[in-house]
Amino acid sequence: MTSQALDEIKIGGLGSSRKRVEDDRFIRGRGNYTDDITLPGMLHMEILRSPLPHAIIKSIDTSKAWEIPGVHLVLTGEMMATRNLAWMPTLSYDTQAVLATDKVRFQGQEVACVIADDPYIAKDACEAIEVDYEPLPPIVNPWQGLAEGAPVIRDDKTGQSDNVVYNWEVGDKAGTDRAFEQADAISKLELHYPRSHPSPIECCGSIADFNRATSKLTVYMTTQAPHIIRAAVAMVAELPEHMIRIISPDIGGGFGNKVPVYPGYVCSILASILLERPVKWIEDKTGNLISTGFARDIYLKGEMALRRDGKILGVRMHTDADHGAFFSDAQPSKFKIGLMHSAFATYDIPAAHLTARGVYTNKAPGGVAYRCSFRVTEAMFFQERMIQAAADDLGMDQAAFRRMNFVRDDDFPHRTPFGFLTDSGQYAKCLDVGLAAIDYDNFRKEQAEARKRGRLLGLGISTMTEPLGAGNSREYDILGIKMFDSAELKVHMTGKALLRTGAKTQGQGHETTWAQIVAHELGIPADDVTVEEGDTDTAPFGMGTYASRSTPVAGAAVAMVSRKIRAKARKLAAHLLEVSEEDIEWELGRFYVRSSPSRGVTIQECAMAAYSNMPDGMEPGLENTAYYDPPNLTWPFAVYIVTVEVDPETGVWDVLRMVAVDDCGVRINPMIVEGQIMGGLTEAYAMSSMQFITFDADGNCVGSNYMDYLLPTAWETPGYELHSEVVTPCPHHPIGAKGIGECAAVGGPAAFVNAVIDALSGTGVRNIDMPVLPDRVWEALTYRRDVSGAPPVRQD
Ligand code: MCN
Ligand code: CUN
């Protein structure tokens, strides 16, 4: 490098904790969310939802609703059916009712819609609709669904005679059986990962605008994946794809909640086509909590074959997933239970076998949504709870047991027990950093001392590997659409640039970080790069943002398109400097002549030349597009360590300290990465300590509002101590970055629960299901037994 190279941090390049450019409008209240948009002549839609979880619809009388002044349209399933729109395909090859025709299958299911001059009229008219239901027995958990004689929820499906969605398995059964035969000890664990809800502050919504003059349909909506939605709308509504434009404006948090296709979107689209006017639908909080993509609600059990010295020989795992009434998971087609089989990727385990069963119940459809990379959250939770139980059973130290079984640094690339190929990491080093930070040995001493005086201290460790960034396209597709991503870069003649990608930020800060990648690759200051996402008419095709795939896939495409631009700029530089291309060297922001480094041209000068002084035969302009199909997922690693004190009288537990060591490879923007980690840890704390959304025996959703389903505020949230000193660059990512968006929410819960269980050691309590509420801890301590969180079942 010559002295004229730019200071990368000063231009907001890689490693710069640049302030988030999008926050300027957000904190001034100038964001542009779906509900901020008003179109001329716009009408408003409200949804009538079922009060019952399971019932036959005998009749629907909409006559009173039609009579209310200001009502323009009342939609029912029967009307949808005449257009073949009563049912829609889901992203997991099932079908889902748009508006119920035959039966309602969960409380909160969409039964009818009213479109009116304003939302209040529409709401009143919904209440004027009379539906005659004949109740059926509700099914609130898989066991009820699987019981002999259980009513068949999906009697709409030909050939469906029970409530089983799928049976699926993966791994080496024979090898695992052999490992168990050779084991000195076998450890077992059973638990329920409760239903949890992404609960973004902004609910879902859409504005459909069918233009009668052009026949073009524009939909503004809260989607994390606009291009997938465009494809789905083209298929469901049988509209030509080029006549559909999906625009995701600002999104107030997605967290997976805004990946699926919801009936509200479809109904607003049909209403706009029928009325030839824009139709807006904005969901309310309870509507969001009872009807949109939930997460988890899965029963996990497993056993571990162990050698006396602590070596893990094999693992067996079984899952029973509650999918609600429709199997609508947005996940790679190949894997029925998402990436559950990423479990135990952290450890060198010779054999493993997983069986998975999905069951229909009378709940909202879902399972995969919420900072999860397709069930990785459940996988890593089970892994780390099982590891703690096994270490305890062997009487081994929690940290030593993990270290002994970790995949070693020189073992990469490593084939995980279920067949993934992990490529890099420094697991033991991360653990050492975490243990030193929490002062592990001293804490253990303090814990023993405190115990003598009746105080219950606990320490929980979670060490986890996360598969982030679907695809590659060989293995990952949704409905046959391959999971790659894209970026388009236009460098204007003054050297300012416009970047668009196929991803869609919902708060993660893409407008800030993508510009940093361009700055790193081209030396154009990040402030000179505008980033746009979310409009299918302008953005290149992409699969959207979830599974922390944006940095691994779209972010890689940003680097690749920048390199294409640089390659062309190099030709322009050679022309300007009147030397051959081979004599040109690059340093950040500038090409120079190798033999005479002071002779050079900046990237901005090259940009100007692309429009004003290009060599003969060169195509003018400085624009390009890159599609990126990653060779593998990225594999970040994290260590989360929590210490707690449990009050034996009340079961209340307080977090004393929380240490987080995240290795997500090269960090584009360290401040944004830390924000992602803190947000994820807070969600982990919320899930493990307070968030409770369940169903009573009659199938009523309990916790469908913010009075019951708690979001921690700054007051409840513990302080976090973050460590960033371990950096293992991703070997295949162009800038060495791995995903980070979900790590803390995935790995965090086990650390909190492990800490509470550790505080209870000696009582025989092996498990308390989340949320680990004080009354559950009290029950465990008082009766010295495990506490299950499974919903109650009706006994009559
Ligand atoms: N980043 C970085 N360096 C890295 C990795 C990431 O600077 N090595 C930056 C990225 O450039 C990006 C952010 O960190 O600005 C998150 O990047 P990434 O890990 O690629 O995740 P995505 O952008 O794909 O975001 C998805 C992920 C998911 S799946 C959920 S769920 C979730 C999450 O992000 N939802 C969120 N974090 C969220 N944060 C906010 N504020 N809102 C949501 O809805
Ligand atoms: Cu599964 S929640 Mo995120 O992948 O959108």
For 676-703, the pLDDT digits (tens) are 999 999 999 999 999 999 999 999 999 9
Beta bridge partners of 497: 491, 529
pLDDT tens digits, one per residue of 423-470: 999 999 999 999 999 999 999 999 999 999 999 999 999 999 999 999
Catalytic-labelled residue, pool 18, 245, 371, 385:
371
**pLDDT for residue 496 is more than 90:** yes
- Which pair of structure tokens corresponds to residue 566? 């640089």
Ligand 1 centroid from CA 449, angstroms: 42
**pLDDT for residue 3 is more than 80:** no
pLDDT number for residue 32? 97
Which ligand has the minimum distance to the alpha carbon of residue 670?
A: 1
Which ligand has the minimum distance to the alpha carbon of residue 502?
A: 1
Which ligand 1 atom sits nearest the alpha carbon of residue 673?
Answer: 14
Decide: 481 and 543 in contact? Cβ < 8 Å.
yes
- Residue 473, amino acid: S
Q: Is the CB of 227 under 6 A from ligand 2?
A: no
Question: Quick one: average pLDDT of 727-741?
Answer: 98
pLDDT number for residue 794? 56
- Phi/psi of residue 444, each to 5°? -60, -40
**CA dist 744 to 445, 466, 756, 793, Å?**
28, 10, 18, 33
Which ligand 2 atom sits nearest the alpha carbon of residue 371?
Answer: 2
Q: Is the CB of 330 under 6 A from ligand 2?
A: no
Helix or strand run (H / E) with residue 512: helix 510-522
Which ligand 2 atom sits nearest the alpha carbon of residue 548?
Answer: 4
Question: Quick one: average pLDDT of 229-255?
Answer: 94
pLDDT-based confidence at residue 471 (cuts at 50, 70, 90): confident
Decide: 369 and 223 in contact? Cβ < 8 Å.
no
Q: Is the CB of 254 under 6 A from ligand 2?
A: yes
pLDDT number for residue 735? 98
Quote the percentage of the chain above a pLDDT of 70: 99
Decide: 591 and 585 in contact? Cβ < 8 Å.
yes
Which ligand 1 atom sits nearest the alpha carbon of residue 666?
Answer: 8
Catalytic-labelled residue, pool 203, 372, 606, 664:
372
357 is known as an active-site residue: no
To test the ligand 2 pocket, which listed residue (222, 223, 372) has its Cβ within 8 A of the most ligand atoms?
Answer: 372
Residue burial 256-268, b: 16+ Cβ < 10 Å; e: rest:
bbbbbbbbbbbbb
pLDDT number for residue 5? 80
Residues 6+ apart with CB under 8 A from 448: none
**pLDDT for residue 637 is more than 70:** yes
To test the ligand 2 pocket, which listed residue (91, 370, 374, 380) has its Cβ within 8 A of the most ligand atoms?
Answer: 370
Which ligand has the minimum distance to the alpha carbon of residue 743?
A: 1
> Which position has the token pair 């459909």?
208
Q: Is the CB of 546 under 6 A from ligand 2?
A: yes
d(CA 574, CA 563): 17
**pLDDT for residue 181 is more than 80:** yes
Least confident of 195-199, 203-207, 409-413, 656-660: 195-199
- Let me know how many helices (H) and strands (E) the chain has, helices first: 19, 35
Which ligand has the minimum distance to the alpha carbon of residue 200?
A: 1
Ligand 2 centroid from CA 86, angstroms: 27
User: If you average pLDDT over every residue of the chain, what do you get?
Assistant: 96
Ligand 1 centroid from CA 739, angstroms: 7
Residues 6+ apart with CB under 8 A from 491: 497, 522, 524, 565, 607, 610, 622, 623
What distance, in Å, lies between the first and last C-alpha atoms of the chain? 79
Show the ligand 1 pocket: residues with CB < 6 angstroms: 200, 253-256, 371, 506-510, 513, 545-551, 555, 664-669, 672-673, 676, 679, 737-742
**CA dist 116 to 130, 207, 287, 583, 667, Å?**
18, 14, 19, 69, 49
Q: Going by CA atoms, what residue is nearest to atom 38 of ligand 1?
A: 508
pLDDT number for residue 368? 81
- Which pair of structure tokens corresponds to residue 261? 């296709």
pLDDT-based confidence at residue 793 (cuts at 50, 70, 90): low
Quote the percentage of the chain above a pLDDT of 90: 95
Nearest partner of 492 among 648, 310, 622, 314, judged by Cα? 622
Helix or strand run (H / E) with residue 49: strand 43-49
Ligand 1 centroid from CA 370, angstroms: 13
Catalytic-labelled residue, pool 96, 109, 224, 426:
224
pLDDT-based confidence at residue 74 (cuts at 50, 70, 90): very high
Q: Is the CB of 331 under 6 A from ligand 2?
A: no
Catalytic-labelled residue, pool 742, 743, 766, 776:
742
pLDDT-based confidence at residue 237 (cuts at 50, 70, 90): confident
- Which pair of structure tokens corresponds to residue 241? 């794809």
Which ligand has the minimum distance to the alpha carbon of residue 517?
A: 1
pLDDT number for residue 460? 98
Q: Compute CA 135 distance to the chain's CA centroid, rounded to the nearest angstrom.
A: 35
**pLDDT for residue 324 is more than 70:** yes
Ligand 2 centroid from CA 679, angstroms: 14
To test the ligand 1 pocket, which listed residue (222, 508, 550, 732) has its Cβ within 8 A of the most ligand atoms?
Answer: 508
Decide: 142 and 320 in contact? Cβ < 8 Å.
yes
Q: Which long-range contacts (CB under 8 A, 24 or more apart) does 19-26 make?
A: 19/512, 19/671, 20/509, 20/511, 20/512, 20/672, 21/511, 21/512, 21/515, 22/250, 22/505, 22/509, 22/511, 22/512, 25/250, 26/250
Question: Quick one: average pLDDT of 176-196?
Answer: 97
Ligand 1 centroid from CA 507, angstroms: 8
Which ligand 2 atom sits nearest the alpha carbon of residue 254?
Answer: 5
Q: Is the CB of 470 under 6 A from ligand 2?
A: no
For CA atoms 360, 364, 369, 370, the dihedral sign is: negative
**pLDDT for residue 792 is more than 90:** no
Ligand 2 centroid from CA 720, angstroms: 23
Ligand 1 centroid from CA 662, angstroms: 14
pLDDT number for residue 114? 98
Does residue 413 have a cis bond before it (omega within 30 degrees)? yes
Nearest partner of 226 among 23, 36, 506, 548, judged by Cα? 506
Output Rg (C-alpha) for the chain, integer angstroms. 28
Which ligand 2 atom sits nearest the alpha carbon of residue 370?
Answer: 2
**CA dist 103 to 52, 63, 131, 359, Å?**
10, 21, 11, 18
pLDDT number for residue 366? 87
Nearest partner of 684 among 704, 662, 702, judged by Cα? 662
Least confident of 228-237, 274-283, 551-560, 572-581: 228-237
pLDDT tens digits, one per residue of 111-133: 999 999 999 999 999 999 999 99
Query: Strand, coil or helix: what is 75?
Result: strand
Which ligand 2 atom sits nearest the alpha carbon of residue 224?
Answer: 5
Decide: 163 and 153 in contact? Cβ < 8 Å.
yes
pLDDT tens digits, one per residue of 352-379: 999 999 999 999 998 888 999 999 999 9
Ligand 2 centroid from CA 225, angstroms: 11
Query: Strand, coil or helix: what is 21?
Result: coil
- Order the strands of the 205-211 sheet from edge to edge: 71-76, 110-116, 43-49, 279-282, 205-211, 216-221, 244-247
372 is known as an active-site residue: yes
516 is known as an active-site residue: no
Ligand 1 centroid from CA 676, angstroms: 6
**pLDDT for residue 795 is more than 80:** no
**CA dist 703 to 139, 199, 336, 700, Å?**
18, 12, 28, 10
126 is known as an active-site residue: no
Q: What is the pTM of this model?
A: 0.97
Ligand 2 centroid from CA 375, angstroms: 9
Which ligand has the minimum distance to the alpha carbon of residue 294?
A: 2
Q: Is the CB of 197 under 6 A from ligand 2?
A: no
Q: Is the CB of 371 under 6 A from ligand 2?
A: yes
Residue burial 664-695, b: 16+ Cβ < 10 Å; e: rest:
bbbbbbeebbbbbbbbbbbbbbbbbbbbbbbb
Ligand 1 centroid from CA 275, angstroms: 39
To test the ligand 1 pocket, which listed residue (9, 548, 637) has its Cβ within 8 A of the most ligand atoms?
Answer: 548
- Which pair of structure tokens corresponds to residue 71? 């009502």
Which ligand has the minimum distance to the alpha carbon of residue 253?
A: 1
- Which pair of structure tokens corresponds to residue 525? 């200051």
Decide: 651 and 777 in contact? Cβ < 8 Å.
yes
